[in-house]
Amino acid sequence: MNITEQKISIEKVKQSKINQVDFDNLSFGSVFADHMLVCDYKDGKWEAPKVVPYQPIVLDPSSKIFHYGQSIFEGMKAYKDVNNDTWLFRPLENQKRLNVSAKRMAIPEIPEDYFMEGLKTLLKVDEQWIPKNEGSSLYIRPFIFATGQGFHASPADEYKFIISCAPSGAYFSGKVKVLIEEKYSRSANGGVGYAKAGGNYAGQFYPTQLAVAKGYNQVIWTDDNTHEYIEEAGAMNIFVRINDTLITGPTSDRILDGITRKSILEIAKDEGITTEVRKITVAEVIAAAKDGSLKEMFGAGTAAVISPIATFGYRDVDYDLPENEDSMATKLKKRITDIQYNKTEDTFGWRYKV
């Protein structure tokens, strides 16, 4: 059946906890809005979504999420402009990518109207939770996981789709120092690296801890086979600026098709910046760092939008990047955030009014 907002039941909290929240001092993803959207998959179909108070989930110990890891998620944000209107940024891209992940993980795909109408309903109920402070936003986490029971190794027959939200302050990562990884891999050809599957991130934690112990903040992942090509920066897509050309790797089985990534490529083209989507070797980056042609490196993703890299390490040598007055990272981040907060004309048609 097609879902409209009128078909989504709403159960509101008896007492909001919003007055307990200091919106001037929000950390990332640690305070949660009053409500969440919940939708169950049973008997071969998705049931009607409903908005309920934010609450714990009760699961049987044999639920397959615990044993076979069928879990996927998305990350997106809602923004308030100066007129108090609410905006989303390319939400249909998140919906499509969630279903790409679902297909790869043998999870039933969520219909577009369930996702969009459910999200809009939730945001209208919790509208007061969208911060109005400069740079702040409401982080939105849609996710699906297996609730069907049994110890046999097979896809579950029941699933739960949830959208929960967390008001978050401006994301400042500071000067990021990263280590180019040569032993561990984030993903492999034919694998699930292009899906936003929970296990992808679990597998990153240990190598990242090893890098942190050496004084780095994050890892730059290289290809699984030769470790000759840089692919992602932590949980973000990576961009490299050599002279005045902006380069990023092509998407593949191993690399997430980032929404911020493709937005940067389109904005760069609009700005007249030369871009290349191609494989980037570690050797090329090292050579550019040595001869001074490496001007910038940055990660791109929903949380930080763009996170500049100040230093990268490789085989016990650290390479510092220059501080540029004509930083592409700064220019591109401003273009994106101005669109997100409705501060400028959206010539791309990315902004979505709730």
Domains and CATH numbers, the chain: 5-168 (3.30.470.10), 176-339 (3.20.10.10)
3-state secondary structure of 331: helix
Tell whether the model's pLDDT for residue 292 goes beyond 80: yes
Q: Which two tokens stand for residue 222?
A: 């290289």
Provide the 10 A C-beta neighbour count for residue 223: 22
Tell me the average pLDDT of the chain.
95
Closest CA to 123 of 344, 353, 339, 340: 353
Rounded to an integer, the average pLDDT of 32-53 is 97
Closest CA to 53 of 128, 144, 145, 164: 164
Instruction: Kindly state the percentage of the chain with pLDDT values over 90.
Output: 93
DSSP code, position 49: P
pLDDT of 174: 74
Rounded to an integer, the average pLDDT of 322-341 is 94
Provide the 10 A C-beta neighbour count for residue 105: 22
Rounded to an integer, the average pLDDT of 244-259 is 95
pLDDT of 6: 64
User: pLDDT-derived band of residue 170, with 50, 70 and 90 as boundaries?
Assistant: confident
Instruction: For residue 29, count CB atoms less than 10 angstroms from its CB and return exposed for 0-12, middle for 13-18, buried for 19 or more.
Output: middle
Contacts of residue 2, Cβ cutoff 8 Å, sequence gap at least 6:
113
3-state secondary structure of 92: helix
Rounded to an integer, the average pLDDT of 60-75 is 98
pLDDT of 354: 96
Can you point out the beta strands (E) in the chain?
A: 9-10, 35-42, 45-46, 50-53, 71-73, 76-80, 86-89, 137-146, 159-168, 176-180, 218-222, 229-233, 236-242, 245-248, 274-277, 280-281, 294-301, 305-314, 317-320, 351-353
Contacts of residue 104, Cβ cutoff 8 Å, sequence gap at least 6:
192, 194, 195, 197
| Cα four-point dihedral sign 244, 276, 304, 193 | negative
Closest CA to 307 of 316, 296, 315: 296
pTM here is 0.96
Tell whether the model's pLDDT for residue 150 goes beyond 70: yes
